[in-house]
Amino acid sequence: MGLFLKAAIGALVVVLIGMLSKTKNYYIAGLVPLFPTFALIAHYIVGSERSIEALRTTIIFGIWAVIPYLVYLVSLWFFVGTWRLPLALLAAVGCWVVAAWLLIQLWNRWHGQA
């Protein structure tokens, strides 16, 4: 898939989120980024260039990768109640980075990959 096509898909997603955020069902805008666009690309690449076992490992890691996103959402929920939005978003992303780093460290320890 060409770089231009990937950028166009990304732009369409941003436009869709913007449009949904202006509707009475604005909360659906939070579902759109979770469409597995990049997961589909990653799974196709791993599945076509590596073994099915490698793809299955990637899928299991993807299941665990939901945890940093959950950490982001929970921390953002708390932060927006006390801080201005830009700072709350930055802090929540920081929480995501820490959770993702911990996940990778624990995964590597459990699965013997350094």
Task: Give the helix ranges, DSSP H, for the chain.
Answer: 3-21, 37-49, 52-64, 66-79, 85-111
Listed by start position, the domains of the chain span: 1-35, 40-114
pLDDT tens-digit readout, 3-26: 888 788 888 889 989 999 999 989
pTM of the full predicted structure? 0.79
CB 88 within 8 A of CB 78: no
80-106: average pLDDT: 97
Closest CA to 42 of 59, 67, 60: 59
Q: Tell me the backbone φ, ψ of residue 97, rounded to 5 degrees.
A: -60, -45
